[in-house]
């Protein structure tokens, strides 16, 4: 309790029989009064007079106060307004009533001062007794009651989960996860550390740039969550950052549009500045024109994606200077306008997968595995351009389909006339191509022949020399081998191989008498141990044949030659014909 000392009055009884107010009248006597203001229940102007005679008047300068728990009033030498100013509820106010603030002009009972807003109800409990006011929300339990948040409102739960315009936005572990239901949800410049989740079919016409880290665009179903590009140039331009796209379908309506343009390369930096990764997982590129043009990047990983009904006129999946490329379990089929079925038209006229000539760097490693690749009309399946180099390339376990292919090629480069893939060119020499349907393996080997030679091999006693072919050796077929007219066969592949060598030689001794001769295989100018075959030839112009069979490992630029020796005389030897086959 807090007592306050006030100037007041006490009531004194006057014992006199002559008083006009009757027997034992009363009078007010000034005194100091100690008052607990917290017990004040009401106050008003003091009434002066005699109730019996009706001689009553109000004293506006004196206040009568009633206290809680007391049967007598207290008389204060103050106006009601001044006394009321001492109370917490404000000047001149019935203490049973309240104001909302000090600026409120009207006091009233609490029940009347509370106004229920939207979705709020106020109920008086125990009316006429120990009353309470119950305030209740219509949305008191969102798990049991239905309700709507008006358009344009944003609701946030626990500081991490937000609904904005019917879209969910969640910030957790330093990332923003944002639903995309309309084009405006994809800003012109994507926000760092954000996952954009595509919901349903969305058409966009304004180009998007990603130049910040931590961005991915994804959907839940690559058939249903669909971005339609209705603009000119690339839909998404990616500059020197990691980026991922998964689980969505992408299409384009304009022949002047493309889907992806991405660059990450700097010739003066480590690994030519190729330090970022592009990932396309379980996507469907369907019903679009040019697809993706990628320059640089440490790794481009395209996994389990569909490239259907592509109408590209300039490029499909085009790469330049990329350090590593992984294309796995993808389908590249039906590159024509889907709307022309059952009579296909609007064919794509470019290569499906294209590796451009080196610009600032070479291709480090390329793996294309487990795909279905079906070029038609004038399209090319895989084109590895002259002027490009690849350190380690693997193309395996793919199905190359040629049905409907006219002037296009399933694989470029190819050997002229033979029209099979040419694995001996500088741009393809680093590739292992095997276990595919529709194209030959890159198994290295060669067949070279000498026919009708008339030039003697001049001999000195006991000195092996290279067989003189008269410049007549011809390579009949070869993969990653070159053959000189003089009979030197050179391996130009980049990977070490173990090969078998099969040679048949027809010869004619020159000079009289009977002489022994020895034929050898030499590698890099050194006799291969155990490769010699000895024969005895008797009489001038005596004919004979021998067969040399051998095996040896070969690395790049190793070469094989045939040598012959006469250990007992200087009679010459004429090698008229031979056939040599080298194969893995």
Enclosing domain of residue 568 = 445-583
Domain assignment present for 244: yes
Residue 534, pLDDT above cutoff 70: yes
137 located within any domain: no
Structure tokens that stand for 373 in this block: 């690749």
Query: Chain-wide mean pLDDT for the chain?
Result: 89
Mean pLDDT of 105-111: 74
* Distance between CA atoms of residues 84 and 94, nearest Å: 8
Compute the average pLDDT of residues 335-342.
96
What is the predicted pLDDT for the residue at 102? Answer: 63
581 contacts 549 by C-beta, under 8 angstroms:
no
- Please tell me whether residues 512 and 373 are part of one structural domain: no
Residues 243 and 335 in one domain: yes
Q: Which residue has the higher pLDDT, 124 or 340?
A: 340
Integer Cα distance of 173 and 324 in angstroms: 31
Q: Is residue 372 part of a domain?
A: yes
Q: Rg (Cα) of the chain, in Å, rounded?
A: 51
Q: Per mean pLDDT, which range of 27-41, 219-233, 273-287 is the poorest?
A: 27-41
| Mean pLDDT value of segment 274-302 | 98
**Same-domain status, 243 and 323:** yes
Could you give the percent of the chain with pLDDT greater than 70? Answer: 89
Residues 299 and 351 in one domain: yes
Q: Looking at the structure, do residues 408 and 373 belong to the same domain, yes or no?
A: yes
Identify whether 459 is part of a domain.
yes
Residues 421, 488 within the same domain: no
Q: Look at 226 and 541; give whichever has higher pLDDT.
A: 226
Mean pLDDT, range 209-226, rounded to an integer: 96
Q: Do 426 and 547 lie in a common domain?
A: no
pLDDT at 155 over 90: no
13 and 86 co-located in one domain = yes
Task: Give the residue, 369 or 132, on which the prediction is more confident.
Answer: 369
In the predicted structure, residue 81 carries a pLDDT above the cut 70: yes
SS3 per-residue string spanning 176-220: EEEEECCHHHCCCECCCCEEEEECCEEEECCCEEECCCCEEEECC
pLDDT of residue 157: 59
Give whole-number Cα distances, 225 to 42, 197, 233, 530, in Å.
Answer: 71, 9, 22, 68
Helix (H) or strand (E) holding 113: helix 110-113
Tens-digit pLDDT profile for residues 303-335:
999 999 999 999 999 999 999 999 999 999 999
- Classify residue 217: in a domain, yes or no: no
Asked whether residue 51 carries a pLDDT value surpassing 80, the answer given is no
Among 50-64, 123-137, 433-447, 465-479, the least confident range: 50-64
What gap in Å lies between CA 274 and CA 276, rounded to an integer? 6
| Residue 387 near residue 355 (C-beta atoms within 8 A) | no
Could you tell me if 376 and 488 lie in one domain?
no
Residue 292 has pLDDT above 60, yes or no: yes
Which pLDDT score is estimated for 89?
57
What's the confidence (pLDDT) of residue 92?
A: 47
Question: Which of 414, 434, 454 is at the close of a domain?
Answer: 434
What pLDDT does residue 166 have?
64
DSSP 427: T
Average of per-residue pLDDT across 289-295: 98
CATH number at residue 563: 2.60.120.40
pLDDT of residue 142: 54
pLDDT band at residue 109 under the 50/70/90 scheme = confident
Q: How confident is the model at residue 518 (pLDDT cuts 50, 70, 90)?
A: very high
Q: Give the pLDDT score at 285.
A: 98
In a domain, 117, yes or no: no
Same domain, yes or no: 308 and 348: yes
Domain boundary among 73, 96, 119: 96
Tokens of 428: 């393809």
Rounded Cα–Cα distance for residues 295 and 299 (Å): 11
Is the same domain home to 416 and 488? no
Q: Which residue has the tokens 């009579």?
A: 343
Please report which confidence band the pLDDT of residue 91 belongs to, taking 50, 70 and 90 as the band edges: very low
Distance CA 376, CA 306 (A): 17
Question: Where among 405, 434, 463 does a domain terminate?
Answer: 434
Q: How many domains does the chain contain in total?
A: 3
State the residue for tokens 């070279």. 448
| Better-scored residue on pLDDT, 169 or 76 | 76
- Residue 540 predicted with pLDDT over 80: no
pLDDT attached to residue 4: 83
- Measured CA to CA, the distance from residue 82 to residue 68 in angstroms comes to 20
- The yes-or-no verdict on residue 45 having pLDDT over 80 is yes
Highest mean pLDDT among 36-45, 81-90, 110-119, 170-179: 170-179
Give pTM, 2 decimals. Answer: 0.73
CB 83 within 8 A of CB 59: no
DSSP 547: E
Task: State yes or no: pLDDT of 514 exceeds 90.
Answer: no
On the question of pLDDT at 236 being above 60, the answer is yes
- 375 and 451, same domain (yes or no): no
291 vs 3, which has greater pLDDT?
Answer: 291
Bridge-based pairing state of the strands 154-157 and 55-67: unpaired
* Assigned domain for 144 exists: no
In this prediction, residue 158 carries a pLDDT of: 62
pLDDT band at 291 (very low <50, low <70, confident <90, very high): very high
* 211 assigned to some structural domain: no
């Amino acid at each position: 309790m807090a007592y306050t000392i006030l100037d007041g009055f006490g009531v004194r009884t006057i014992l006199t029989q002559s008083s006009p107010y009757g027997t034992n009248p009363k009078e007010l006597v000034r005194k100091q009064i100690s008052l607990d203001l917290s017990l004040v229940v009401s106050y008003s102007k003091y009434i002066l007079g005699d109730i019996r005679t009706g001689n009553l008047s109000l004293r506006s300068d004196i206040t009568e106060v009633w206290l809680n728990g007391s049967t007598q009033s207290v008389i204060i030498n103050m106006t009601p307004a001044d006394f009321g100013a001492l109370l917490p509820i404000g000047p001149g106010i019935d203490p049973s009533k309240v104001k909302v603030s000090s600026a409120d002009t009207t006091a009233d009972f609490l029940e009347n001062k509370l106004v229920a807003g939207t979705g709020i109800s106020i109920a008086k409990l125990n009316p006429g007794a120990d009353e309470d006011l119950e305030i209740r929300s219509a949305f008191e339990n969102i798990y049991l009651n239905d309700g709507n948040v008006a358009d344009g409102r944003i609701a946030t739960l626990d500081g991490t989960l937000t609904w904005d315009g019917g879209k969910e936005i969640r910030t957790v572990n330093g990332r923003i996860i944002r639903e995309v239901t309309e084009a405006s949800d994809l800003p012109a410049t994507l926000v760092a550390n954000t996952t954009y989740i595509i919901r349903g079919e969305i058409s966009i016409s304004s180009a998007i740039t990603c130049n910040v880290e931590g961005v991915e665009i994804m959907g839940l179903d690559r058939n249903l969550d669909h971005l339609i590009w209705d603009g000119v140039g690339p839909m998404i331009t990616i500059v020197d950052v990691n980026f991922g796209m998964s689980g969505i379908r992408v299409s384009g309506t304009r022949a002047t549009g493309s889907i992806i343009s991405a660059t990450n390369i700097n010739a003066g930096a480590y690994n030519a500045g190729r330090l970022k990764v592009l990932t396309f997982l379980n996507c469907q590129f369907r019903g679009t024109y040019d697809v993706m043009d990628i320059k640089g990047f440490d790794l481009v990983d395209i996994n389990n994606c569909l490239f259907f009904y592509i109408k590209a006129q300039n490029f499909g999946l085009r790469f330049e200077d990329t350090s590593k490329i992984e294309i796995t379990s993808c389908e590249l089929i039906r590159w024509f306008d889907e709307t022309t079925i059952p009579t296909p038209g609007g064919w794509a006229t470019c290569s499906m997968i294209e590796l451009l000539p080196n610009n600032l760097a070479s291709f480090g490693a390329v793996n294309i595995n487990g795909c279905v690749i079906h070029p038609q009309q004038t399209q090319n399946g895989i084109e590895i351009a002259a002027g490009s180099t690849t350190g380690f390339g693997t193309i395996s376990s793919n199905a190359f389909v040629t049905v409907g292919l006219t002037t296009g090629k399933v694989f470029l480069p190819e050997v002229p006339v033979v029209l099979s893939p040419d694995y001996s060119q500088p741009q393809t020499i680093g590739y292992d191509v095997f276990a595919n349907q529709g194209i030959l393996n890159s198994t290295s080997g060669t067949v070279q022949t000498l026919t009708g030679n008339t030039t003697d091999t001049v001999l000195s006693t006991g000195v092996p020399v290279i067989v003189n072919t008269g410049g007549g050796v011809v390579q009949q077929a070869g993969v990653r081998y070159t053959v000189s007219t003089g009979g030197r066969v050179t391996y130009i592949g980049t990977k070490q191989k173990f090969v078998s060598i099969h040679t048949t030689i027809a010869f004619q001794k020159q000079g009289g008498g009977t002489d022994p001769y020895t034929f050898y295989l030499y590698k890099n100018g050194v006799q291969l141990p155990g490769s010699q075959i000895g024969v005895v030839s008797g009489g001038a112009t005596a004919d004979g044949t021998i067969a040399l069979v051998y095996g040896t490992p070969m690395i790049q630029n190793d070469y094989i030659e045939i040598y012959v020796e006469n250990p007992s005389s200087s009679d010459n030897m004429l090698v008229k014909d031979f056939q040599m086959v080298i194969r893995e």
